[in-house]
Amino acid sequence: MAKRKTKFVCQECGYESMKWMGKCPGCQNWNTMVEEFTAPAATAKSRGYVTSAASISSPQPITKIERKEEQRINCHINELNRVLGGGIVPGSLVLVGGDPGIGKSTLLLQVSGELAKHGQKVLYISGEESVKQTKLRADRLAIAADELFVLAETDVELIEKAIDNINPMLVIIDSIQTVYLDGVSSAPGSVSQVRESTAAFMRIAKTKGIAIFIVGHVTKQGAIAGPRLLEHMVDSVLYFEGERHHTYRILRAVKNRFGSTNEIGIFEMKEVGLEEVLNPSEIFLEERSAGTSGSAVVASMEGTRTVLVEIQALISPTSFGNPRRMATGIDHNRISLIMAVLEKRVGMLLQNQDAYIKVAGGVRLDEPSIDLAIAVAIASSFRDAPAPPTDVMIGEVGLTGEVRRVSRIDQRVNEAEKLGFKRVIVPEKNLGGWNIPNGIEVIGVNTVNEALEVTIGGASSGSPRFEL
């Protein structure tokens, strides 16, 4: 019998070492090295990962390969279809992560119920709940379909047998941290078990053409628990975001081999489950206060969707030597950059002011077009001069104070016009080449100074105006 070897594996990043260390050299976290045993006899071939030589295909020229369009599966939930790129691809492996209690299991059970209602077999594997507990949640969500099968199991081999017996179109694994393989000696949830179990489900998905959704736990830093290799193995990685004290949830794709990674889906958590938000801009702006300083609206692009959100800023004198810079929903470094531009190019003395910036509604923005709205909100709060509540600011701010062009300006302006806004402040380079909607005024600016004159300091006579 071969001798078992011992190694220490970091449970956060997967770093391996032959001896225990208090601090992981890979991720710099403390007390994450756990002892694991390796069994040389449990090879990849014995676990079924390697096929016979007869089934291995030979290499062929790429010009001889026939292109075949995959028929996607309609989830019957439009927001999820949007994030996945048009629906579920058969044979794909999708990883869904998010904070505890955010609604991952609720969303996947609703998807299972919708597909089963339309006559497609779905197998829901629960490793954290019993079958009766899953039934209670299904009753709360009003899910009752004969094609939805539920199994409480954590053994990967038994799960594979159940998949062979039922032959479903979709399999839900809730969660990957609870399942295990007998050939791996470490405990469920360890790096080795998560890696090998995911490899087994990947083999099942690719060989049988079954779509598999895997639920993954997250660490206290917000990343999916387990090795980083886990995100590289799957076809798509979806993050379910949102504040626990808010009812709105955002499903964001950070990796998608079959679609865009810029799309988001927005849901509202209710007693009967998650409901789609058809017009998120109205939700984010419904509680906006008119005539208050430190507020600006921006039209941000999230994939192919235009979302209008409110950016709030509070500038107040500091009582300490180092002023505070706090941001929610925006990169902290971007706030420091824009404040430096306002101080250098506009002449605002902000070095002795605390700055608190927030994106209302809990959404996170990271595209360059929000720079101008941040600058206007900061200047409005600093001067205590409200910006017109019917204005929308769009533009990227450079280090020299110029306002640079952005993409898809026509879609942004059309969305602002639909929601009743009267003026849109855009980069002057974006003017021309597209049709301006009726009933809205588009003002082009070249610098931040011009934008501030138009919004909080009176209209600038040199700014070109276009109105229909």
Bind-site residues for ATP: 98-105
If phi over 0 gives left and psi between -120 and 50 gives alpha, with beta otherwise, what is residue 119? left
For residue 365, give Cα distances in angstroms to 40, 139, 339, 358, 406: 48, 36, 18, 10, 15
Amino acid identity at 357: I
Q: Which two tokens stand for residue 204?
A: 């099942």
What is the rounded CA–CA span in Å between residue 452 and residue 443? 12
Q: What is the CA radius of gyration of the chain?
A: 26
Please name which of 294, 460, 315 lies closest in space to residue 389, comparing C-alpha atoms.
294
First vs last C-alpha separation in the chain: 85
Cβ(201)–Cβ(94) below 8 Å: no
Residues contacting residue 11 through CB under 8 Å, at least 6 positions apart: 32, 33, 34, 190, 191, 225, 226
Q: Which two tokens stand for residue 35?
A: 């002892």
What is the rounded CA–CA span in Å between residue 322 and residue 308? 33
For residue 223, give Cα distances in angstroms to 33, 136, 213: 18, 30, 18
What is the rounded CA–CA span in Å between residue 270 and residue 287? 19
- SS3 assignment, position 35: strand
What is the rounded CA–CA span in Å between residue 177 and residue 149? 21
Q: Which residues are part of a known binding site?
A: 98-105
DSSP labels, 205-233: HHHHT-EEEEEE-B-TTSSBSS-THHHHH
Please name which of 44, 22, 42 lies closest in space to residue 32, comparing C-alpha atoms.
22
What is the rounded CA–CA span in Å between residue 65 and residue 43? 33
Backbone angles phi, psi at 31, to 5 degrees: 55, 40
Backbone angles phi, psi at 143, to 5 degrees: -105, 120
Cβ(256)–Cβ(84) below 8 Å: yes
What is the rounded CA–CA span in Å between residue 295 and residue 365? 16
C-beta atoms surrounding 77 within 10 Å: 21
Cβ(175)–Cβ(134) below 8 Å: no
